[in-house]
Amino acid sequence: MPNIVVVGAQWGDEGKGKVIDLLTPSYNYVVRYQGGNNAGHTVVSGNEKFVLHLVPSGVLHKNKICIIGPGVVVDPKALIEEIEMLKSKGIDVEGRLFISEQAHVIFPYHRTIDELKETKKGKAKIGTTKKGIGPCYADKVARSGIRMVDLLNDEVFTKRLKENLSEKNAILKTLYDFKGFFFDEIHSLYIGYRDRIKKYIVDTTVMLDEAVRKKKSIVFEGAQGTHLDVDCGTYPFVTSSNSTAGGACAGSGVGPTKIDKVVGVVKAYTTRVGEGPFPTEFPGDLMNEIRSRGGEYGATTGRPRRCGWFDACLVRRSIIVNGMKEIAVTKLDVLDKLPSIKICTAYKYKDKIYENFPSDIEVLTNCEPIYKEYKGWQKDTTTITSYIKLPSNAKAYLREIEKLLRTKIGLISVGQDRKQAFVIE
C-alpha cells in the first residue's frame, strides 16, 4: 500500500478517526505526528464508542503498530489514562505502542498558563482546549522544552525542570499573581509517570526507517484541521502545530520522498470549535438543528461546535496546501432532512470578490459568503452502501463539491459506525 497522510481539510473534527480506522486493516503502522490530547478522534464499532486523544486511531486493530511521533506533545497523565481506558475495553497496546524519545512533554504549568492566558484575553481569547498545547509548543520553539528522552535522564530532567520552574513561576507570579509550582511535587509526579511509560519510549525515527526499508505501509494520522495549522490556518485562531500534510514529515521523522499520497477529510458541511472567523456559520435555528443531528459537541472538551454550510473556498485552500489528490466526505446523512443546501463559492468584502481564501482576519470576519443553492434530497442515506444508490440530489451535491474543488471524492460516510461508509471506485 502507498504511504498515506490523512488530514482534516476544515477546522478539525471532520471524521479523520473513522477514516483512519477504515484504512488501518490495509496498513502496518499508524503514526500521529502533531498536536496532543487537544485532539479527540472518535471511532464507533457496533455498540462500542472510542474517543482517542493521543494514541493513534489504528490501535483498535490488533497487531497494528502505533507511533506517537517527535512532533506530538504528550501529557503523560492523559496518555496513561488512555492506555488504561483501552485496556479496560480489552485493547492491549503492549509491544505495539511506541513514543518518540524526541516528543515534548506537557507539564502542569503548561496547562495553567494556557488557562490563565485565555482568561486574561477575555473576549479576544482563542478558545483553546486548555490542555497546555500552545505553551508546550512555545517552550519547544524557545528551546526550553523537556522531551521524553530528557525524562529518562535524571540529571538532565532535574536541571531542565528547575530552569523551567524558575522562569514559569516568575511569569505566573508577575503576570497572573499565581502562586506557582514546587519542584519536588512535579519531579516526583513525573518520575512516577516516566516509570510507567518508559517501556514505550524509543527512537521511532529509526523504527520507521526500518519499516520503510521493509516496504511496510504507513498511515500518518493528522489531528485538528488545515485551517488550525499554525502557518496555513486562520492565525491567530489556530492550534500551535503544523496540522497540514507537510507536518507529517518533520513530525514523524520520515522524509517527503517516502510519502505517496495525501487524503483530505471533509464534513458535508462545516464546523468549528473555539473562537475565530467562520464566514458560513449558520443562523440560530439551523445551527441547533444540525448540531443536534450531527452530535456536534467537542470530543475533548464537550463544547458545542459552531456549524455552517460547506465552504468550497476554505477547502480549495486545503487542497492546495496539502497537495490532496482525493477527499473523503463524512456526515452526509446529517443533511438528509434539509429542503435546500448551500455551498459557499467565494466571499464579498467591500465590493471586492475573493475567490481565494483570504488571510486577513478582518476580511474573513466581515465578508459576506457568496452561495450556490441546491435542492436537498430529503431521504434517509444512513443505510446506503454504495454511491449508485444515493438519492440523485445527494449525488448532484457531491458532484458539485468535486467540481468546485477540482478533486475527486474517494469515500463517503453516512453514519458513525464503521459499516456506514463506502468507497467510490
Give the interface with ligand IMP as residue ranges (CB under 6 A). 12-13, 38-40, 126-129, 131, 133-134, 223-224, 228, 237, 239-240, 273-274
Q: What are phi and psi of 28, to 5 degrees?
A: -100, -35
Closer by beta carbon to ligand IMP, 73 or else 384: 73
Query: Closest separation between CB of residue 381 and ligand IMP, Å?
Result: 25
Using the minimum distance from each CB to ligand IMP, give the nearer residue, 11 or 377.
11
Q: How far is the CB of 109 from ligand IMP (least distance, A)?
A: 15
CA 44, 49, 51, 54 torsion: positive or negative?
Answer: negative
13 assigned to active site: yes
**Which residue lies nearer to ligand IMP by CB, 111 or 194?**
111
The CA distance from 20 to 272, in Å, is 21
Spatial neighbors of 129 by CB under 8 A, at least 6 apart, are 38, 274, 298, 300, 301
Tell which phi-psi region holds residue 247, choosing left (phi > 0), alpha (psi between -120 and 50) or beta: alpha
- Give least dist CB 95 to ligand IMP, A: 28
The one catalytic residue in 21, 41, 229, 333 is 41
Retrieve residue 293's grid coordinates: 443531528
Rounded CA-CA distance 131/129 in Å is: 5
Relative orientation angle of helices 183-197 and 154-176, to the nearest 10 degrees: 130
Query: Taking the complex as a whole, how short is the minimal distance between the CB of residue 138 and ligand IMP, in angstroms?
Result: 10
Task: Pick the closer one to ligand IMP by CB: 32 or 194.
Answer: 32
Distances (CA, A) of 115 to 162, 175, 178, 237, 403: 22, 13, 12, 16, 43
Between CA 219 and CA 164 the distance in angstroms is 35
What is the maximal distance between C-alpha atoms in the chain? 66
Please report how close the Cβ of residue 367 comes to ligand IMP at its closest, in angstroms: 20
Query: What is the rounded distance in angstroms from the CA atom of residue 414 to the CA atom of residue 391?
Result: 13
Q: Which is nearer to ligand IMP, 157 or 269 (CB)?
A: 269
Q: Cα–Cα distance between 15 and 345 in angstroms, integer?
A: 23
Name which of 10 and 407 has its Cβ closer to ligand IMP. 10
Name every residue whose Cβ is closer than 8 Å to that of residue 88 and which is 6 or more positions away in sequence.
Answer: none
61 given a catalytic annotation: no
Q: Closest residue (Cβ) to ligand IMP?
A: 274
* Distance between start and end Cα atoms, the chain: 16
Q: Let me know: does 131 contact 298? Beta carbons within 8 Å.
A: no
- The catalytic residues are 13, 41
